[in-house]
Amino acid sequence: MNAAALANPALAKDEFDPASIVTNDPVVRVEAISKHYGATEALRSIDLQFERGKLTTLLGPSGCGKTTLLKIIAGLVPATSGRIVVNGRAVTGPGPERAFVFQDFALMPWATVMRNVAFGLELKGRGATERNRIARHYIEEVGLQGFEDKYPHELSGGMRQRVGIARAFSVNADVLLLDEPFSAVDEQNRRKFQEDLLRLVEMERKSFIFVTHSIEEAVYVSDRIVLLSPRPGRVSNVIEPRIDRTANPDDIRRDPGYLDVVEEIWQGLRHYAE
């Protein structure tokens, strides 16, 4: 659980390989997933592979099924057809390899930050000393030290989401599924969060599947962006931003390469908006 031991700076500077859209060792494979809610067709025949150790973003217009797809991967919502393969094994429900960060935080209002962060471990029957030690580590990791004994209603929206992120980290899953984690955060804090997220991606050797509405956010944090079309959701494009993340954050946001990718995605999504 020691972060330093898990840190793998090499991961962040991986060479980009344009042929790697399909990888040999995907952590999650989405195979021909379709989803109907009654008469509503939410997703149509989605095929995707998520690379290990990478951050992949699902981006698309509102209602295109991003949350649905993420929840199907999490095993929280059953697919109408198709299958989800995690670490080479087909899964039908939630599992210890996956941890979810909820858009509405899903924190227990009656529990302190400490208990909320440790809740995943509590459910697994870990002893109080062990789970509090692990929880404390991740509380510090997300910058909430000093707030261990606060209740969620005493925190700001951004701080609450950090609690949700720390909780997902503390169960040591391979894949973190994040559903618009920063949507309740103002613009300045959002940037800070994105940088913090990148730092966590670098420190923890985990794979991330990230849902967002924001094109800039997607380009800034992602190794790979999956564009979904409006309902029924289908994969319309896959983009690899190739951002050099060793540069300083402000330079990245002014980098012509970064701006070009934002523009490319915007052009791709534009015809849906019209």
Considering only 49, 57, 67, 229, the residue that binds Mg ion (CB under 5 A) is 67
Of residues 8-37, those binding ligand ATP (CB under 6 A): 37
b vs e for 58-92, b when ≥16 Cβ sit within 10 Å of the residue's Cβ?
bbbbeebbbbbbbbbbbbbeebeebebebbeeebe
- Interaction pattern, residues 15-54, with Mg ion; x per rule: CB under 5 A: ----------------------------------------
Report whether 257 contacts 242 (CB < 8 A): yes
Q: Which residue has the tokens 């707030």?
A: 147
- Interaction pattern, residues 195-234, with ligand ATP; x per rule: CB under 6 A: ------------------x-----------------x---
Considering only 1, 6, 108, 238, the residue that binds another protein (CB under 8 A) is 108
Q: Work out the number of other CB atoms within 10 angstroms of the CB of residue 28.
A: 23
Which tokens hold the place of 145? 């030290």
Report whether 56 contacts 239 (CB < 8 A): no
Return the SS3 of 267: helix
Which of 3-11, 18-26, 64-72, 148-156 is the region at the interface with Mg ion (rule: CB under 5 A)?
Answer: 64-72
Smallest distance from another protein to CB 64, Å: 20
Catalog residues that contact another protein under the rule CB under 8 A. 71, 74-76, 93-96, 98-100, 102, 104, 106, 108-111, 119-120, 122-124, 151-154, 171
